[in-house]
Structure 1
């Protein structure tokens, strides 16, 4: 069963179970969170927020900042699809998310999402704005978007683009 859940419940789940990014997204950017339940037990969450990139933050575009499950069958693809339905219901025009280059994106493909582009690895700490380095693999990320049939950009990219 999929339900809207409060930020605090989703954040606690992410802290406990996310495999490489246990820090939840900023509460100020949070739009909504979905929880997937197996009976009374929470088995997965999706946290939807404003985009982290200021260039993508148009007000019409949101992103799934964290998706975390405890391994339940089809949980990830169910959460991706439900997050897109809820985001559209709330007026969102585009929903995206990132995966590491080492992740195949099988759940995103199963939910109908398409890879749009890849980002280069970056160091966020600069002398002008000090940041604590995140413990993530130093590789590029793939940006995916939910399907939007009226959008010409939403075509599968060629192998050269990825």
Structure 2
């Protein structure tokens, strides 16, 4: 189901206390139960990495669920279908070291690359606030087409 930006952000704030909603988005989708109650959301936006921001690529920047079974897998598959329908050629996302990626495999996504831990994005010329993701290895995923 489509989800408004503010509703996706409110859902994330309610269920995912450790990470705030991402700053920007192109669209959000949700998974509802048989009673129409929103159980999970996914937000797709421009890729965070500048070199991947080519205008034809989207990144799933956040998913969040209340624990509903298979909800994240449904959302990853839905984001890919919606992105293709909007004319995008590629969708990516990342998992952090220690996350299994089971919902991505369930949605038929594949590992593209392993990213080494990095110290963060802070530089003297462009100060950044630490977000807790420094020195964490990541895995890059995309749909298996």
TM category (shorter chain) comes to: over 0.9
Task: Please state if 1:141 is matched with 2:106.
Answer: no
**Hey, what does 2:3 align to over in structure 1?**
5
User: Which moves more between the two structures, 60-69 or 34-43?
Assistant: 34-43
Structure 1 unmatched ranges of 5 or more? 149-162
Q: Does 1:72 pair with 2:64?
A: no
For each residue in 1:32-53, what CA deviation from the matched residue of structure 2 results, as whole angstroms up to 9, or x when unmatched? 0001112232110000001011
Equivalent in 102, 115, 122 of residue 125 of structure 1: 122
Aligned residues: 143
1:33 aligns to 2:31 (yes or no) = no
Mapped to 2, the partners of 1:119 and 1:11 lie a distance apart of: 28
Which runs of 5 or more structure 2 residues have no equivalent in the other structure? none
Q: TM-score, normalised by structure 1?
A: 0.83
> For 1:106-159, what per-residue CA distance to the aligned partner results, in whole angstroms no more than 9, with x for missing partners?
1101111000002222211221111110023732000000122xxxxxxxxxxx
Find the residue that maps to 2:139 and give its secondary structure: strand
| Candidates 49, 59, 64, aligned match of 2:55 | 59
Runs of 4+, deviation exceeding 4 Å: none
Distance 1:11 1:126 in 2: 29
